[in-house]
Structure 1
Amino acid sequence: MQRTAAKYFAMSEEVWARHANPWSVWSRYSCLPLLIACLWWRDWLGVAFWPLLVGLLLWVWLNPRCFSKPRDTHNWASQAVLGEQILIYQLERVPLVHYQVIKIIMALLTLSTLVCGIGLWFQEAISTCVGALGVILSKTWFLDRMVWLYQSVARTDAEIAARQAKT
């Protein structure tokens, strides 16, 4: 799923390096609440719904491209992105201890997305809010796991540790 998303978003090495900027990571957190608000008020927005939706989706695609490469990656947000790259492109380096937790996180993320989507479809506030909270918490847990993954791989991989030391 992550590899498909990376391919869809055309995440080149340059784009990944820019996305490791904490401003990119933290500003993407605004995307979900804004997207949910747009979908929730779709009837009220009328024809303005479509330009807003397209603008939000464009921002999701542009966001990793809008920031410069970070000066250093010794922070949670940057290491979350670096861990995600390892998960997507260097699966053989991922320690087994992370697989089960990642499966649980992905199941929770999928379930939360489904609950939020159903809530939005039927404009049911509790399902929408519970689902959205689940998505945000699951994504945050996933990013935290990616930091852990990155740090565990960097401790045992000289190439990754050297790249970290340069920044």
Structure 2
Amino acid sequence: MSMLKRYAKAVGMSEEAWKRHANPWSVWTRFAAIPLMILAIWSRDWIGWWALVPVGLVVVWLALNPHAFPAVERPESWTAKGIYGERMWLRDRSLVAGDHRKVQRLLVVIGATGFGLLVYGLVMLEVWPTVFGATLITVGQLWRIDRLGQLYLAHHR
């Protein structure tokens, strides 16, 4: 079982949870959690160990998020198609062919680079790597959702 599948199982990503996670509110509020988490971690400079409280709240929200919104039975929005495509991809990686695999690998590199910059910026409390890292993560995720939405459209019956 892959790491992604283990993670999905660990956080209770049942079929119903995937349908709820496909709700655009779920997707966009997860994106909104990025600056909230950055602010929560950065707040250690102002409030010390109390920063663990807002960090914990964001972590709890991210765990609850895929279960918090009404289920999407028929994906019609861009985000819903992307999440349905993600579910298809997790079930059968062979659905992603040729050039799309190259793009998926590029998105992993973009995301990992962004994550590295973000961590560095947060540890050192430097604005530019924090903002640039968060931007790379966001762009990578948006592009990934788009690609997975294309996967959904290509294989939906």
Fold-level similarity (TM above 0.5): yes
Q: Which 4+ residue blocks in structure 1 deviate beyond 6 angstroms?
A: none
Cross-structure match for 2:62: 60
Given candidates 126, 129, 148, the residue that maps to 1:127 is: 129
| CA displacement, residues 125-164 of structure 1 (integer Å, 9 cap, x when unaligned) | 111111111111111111111111111112xxxxxx2xxx
Residue in 1 that maps onto 2:108: 106
Structure 2 counterpart of 1:70, from 69, 72, 76: 72
1:30 aligned counterpart, secondary structure: helix
Asked if 2 retains the 8 angstrom alpha-carbon contact of 1:86 and 1:94, the reply is no
Deviation for aligned residue 1:107: 0.8
The more displaced of 79-88 and 44-53 is 44-53
Task: Summarize the alignment of residues 74-85 of structure 1 with structure 2, pairs less than 5 Å apart.
Answer: 74-85=76-87
Q: Give the gaps of 5 or more residues in structure 2.
A: none
Cα deviation 1:26-52 (Å, max 9, x = unaligned): 111111110011111212123431121
Where do 5+ consecutive residues of structure 1 fail to align? 155-160, 162-167
> Who is 2:31 aligned against?
29
Q: Aligned pairs, how many?
A: 155
Which residue matches 1:43? 45
State TM-score, norm by structure 1.
0.86
The aligned residue for residue 88 of structure 2 is: 86
Question: 1:96 offset after TM fit, Å?
Answer: 3.0
Read off the aligned partner of 1:108 and give its amino acid letter.
Answer: I
In structure 1, how many angstroms separate the alpha carbons of the residues matched to 2:146 and 2:44? 33
Q: CA deviation at 1:15?
A: 0.6
Of the structure 1 ranges 66-75 and 82-91, higher mean CA displacement relative to structure 2 is found in: 66-75
Q: Structure 1 stretch 119-128 or stretch 66-75: which is displaced more?
A: 66-75
Sequence identity (%): 31
CA distance in 2: counterparts of 1:8 and 1:141, whole angstroms: 25
Instruction: Report the secondary structure of 1:29's partner residue.
Output: helix
RMSD: 1.5
Of the three residues 11, 17, 23, the one matched with 1:15 is: 17
Q: Deviations over 1:90-110 (max 9, x none)?
A: 223333331111000011101
Aligned residues of 2:19 and 2:73 also touching (Cα < 8 A)? no
Instruction: Supply the AA of the counterpart residue of 2:56.
Output: V
TM-score (norm 2): 0.92
